[in-house]
Chains A and B, each alone.
Chain A
């Protein structure tokens, strides 16, 4: 029977939520949490022999150390397959799954499979190298994801031929495979054009990669004369969260007045973010939105002026399309107000 080692975060590892996100790597014998669904999908073909659990914040704040420890733990169990996640739309978890998978594949030479929602930042980090089963954006799709991951993992371990992304449900890796088509290219192209003209659905044979890069804006000539604005995705809002910005999947951003405010404090501000341990930000919100230092620099003439308003949203499971929309709206307001430079802080 094939041996499987599974990687999950502190939440799925049943250690705790954000307050336990700084948990260093640890290993448990047998399947834990989502590992049970995996085990069920593997049936008697493979056995989840161990589960490595690591806090999402710990991993991302100590990548090299964590990776060393995790690789050591995995190697000890001599697995035939390594599975990480699924991470769904959890950003830090996705980055951890991607990083660990790449390292296991490269350094230990073991086949790996993970699972993520296409907008997870972990996807771009490893999709060229690692098979990522495409999942929904929440753990509600656990059973479906685990089934697809187990199926692909078995194929990889048995060195069977891996089908196309559509057949195997993984995120395209940008690899082209030659095959014999039934009809020649000119006929296929005309067929596609006819479908397009009729308004019928068609599938391109050469999807264009999406390169959405913005060239760097020119440098600020003299910051000591510039109007500088603060923006954050860390969810810092006035106490009580007057606009009710959601703790995840935020549907809006807020614009808040800093007139006369020399620093933020636990009495005046708080975080609305549900994706990190809020204790430190609530205790001293300057740790996320550095109003105190900006005021100091303003007084000393190191910056021209701090813009009267700051903008905030919660960057936690926020779809790219929404973030883009908020960014555009904020940019317009800042430009209209004559702002010349922006400091954007993220947790």
Chain B
């Protein structure tokens, strides 16, 4: 799906836990996520901290969307 969105000319960032799968599939802008059952959260954290973590990942994703790249790029936030 990521690839078809980009093929249509829509800049797309893929937030996902298993980066090797994202690379194999052909995503270009990749942001690693936290864990498979909660990619954008961490139930071990208090609510506010969890939301701050989510914001950090999304902020990185927005940065990725505004970055010109030539090939597959992983944008780390950790």
Q: Which residues of A contact B (CB under 8 A)?
A: 18, 21, 57, 60-61, 91-92, 95, 121, 124-125, 212-223, 231, 233-234, 276-281, 283-284, 286-288, 290, 292-294, 296-297, 302-303, 313, 315, 323-324, 326-328, 330-332, 334-335, 339-347
The docked-state distance in angstroms from the alpha carbon of A283 to that of B70 is 39
Q: Known contacts being A57-B37, A286-B40, A335-B8, is A219 close to B67, with CB within 8 Å? A: yes
Quick check: A231 and B5 within 8 Å, CB to CB?
Answer: yes
In the bound assembly, the distance between CA atoms of A345 and B2 in angstroms comes to 10
CB contacts (< 8 Å) of A280 on chain B: these are 37-38, 41, 43
List the B side residues contacting A60 at CB < 8 Å.
17-18, 36
Q: Which of B20-45 contact A (CB under 8 A)?
A: 20-22, 24-26, 28-29, 33, 35-41, 43
CB distance from A220 to the nearest CB of B (A): 5
Interface contact B13-A347, CB-CB below 8 Å: no
Interface residues in chain B, defined as those with a beta carbon under 8 Å from any beta carbon in chain A: 1-18, 20-22, 24-26, 28-29, 33, 35-41, 43, 50-51, 54-55, 57-59, 61-62, 65-73
Q: What residues of chain A lie closer than 8 Å to B67, measured between beta carbons?
A: 219
| Chain B, Cβ-Cβ closest to A297 | B58
Between-chain CB contacts (< 8 Å), 10 pairs: A214-B26, A217-B6, A218-B68, A220-B65, A293-B51, A339-B10, A341-B12, A342-B11, A346-B14, A346-B17
In angstroms, Cα B37 to Cα A284, docked, is 11
- CB contacts (< 8 Å) of B1 on chain A: these are 231, 233, 313, 315, 323-324, 326-327, 330, 344
Task: Knowing A217-B9, A217-B11, A335-B10 are in contact, say whether A281-B66 is a contact too (CB < 8 A).
Answer: no
Contact of B25 among A61, A121, A345 (CB under 8 A): A121
CB-defined contacts of A324 to chain B, threshold 8 Å: 1, 3-4
Please measure, in the bound complex, the distance between the C-alpha atom of A229 and the C-alpha atom of B8, giving whole angstroms.
Answer: 14
Bound Cα distance from A326 to B1, whole angstroms: 7
Nearest chain B CB to A185 CB, angstrom units: 35
Q: Which residues of A contact B68 (CB under 8 A)?
A: 216, 218-219
CB nearest to A216 among chain B residues = B28
Complex Cα distance A222/B67, Å? 10
Distance, CA A234 to CA B61, complexed state (A):
17
Is the CB–CB distance between A283 and B43 below 8 Å?
yes
Given A95-B21, A347-B36, A341-B10 contact (CB < 8 Å): yes
A31 to B55, CA, bound (A): 46
Chain A contacts of B10 at CB under 8 A?
217, 331, 334-335, 339-342
Indicate the member of A216, A277, A279, A302 with the most B CB atoms within 10 Å. A216
In angstroms, Cα B23 to Cα A125, docked, is: 10
- Taking CB atoms, residues of chain A closer than 8 Å to B35 are 57, 61
- On whether A213 and B21 interact (CB within 8 A), knowing A335-B9, A343-B58, the answer reads no
Partner of A302, one of B9, B33, B37, B62: B62
Instruction: For the complex, give the distance between the alpha carbons of A324 and B8 in Å.
Output: 12
Name the residue of chain B whose CB is nearest to the CB of A233: B1
Which 8 residue pairs spanning A and B have beta carbons closest together? Answer: A327-B4, A287-B41, A331-B8, A327-B1, A346-B16, A216-B28, A280-B38, A217-B11
CA of A346 to CA of B14, assembled, Å: 7
Assembled-state Cα–Cα distance A21/B36 (Å): 10
Whether A331 contacts B40 in the complex (CB less than 8 A), given A92-B18, A212-B26, comes out as: no
- Which chain B residues border A213 with CB–CB below 8 Å? 26
Please indicate the chain B residues that have their CB under 8 angstroms from the CB of A92 in the complex.
18, 36
A219 CB to closest chain B CB, in angstroms? Answer: 4
Complex CA gap A340/B7 in Å reads 13
Most buried by B among A219, A233, A286, A313: A219
Chain B's closest residue to A284 (CB) is B41
Residues in B whose Cβ lies below 8 Å from that of A216:
6, 11, 28-29, 68-73
Q: Which residues of A contact B38 (CB under 8 A)?
A: 280-281, 287-288
**Contact between chains at A343 and B8 (CB < 8 Å):** no
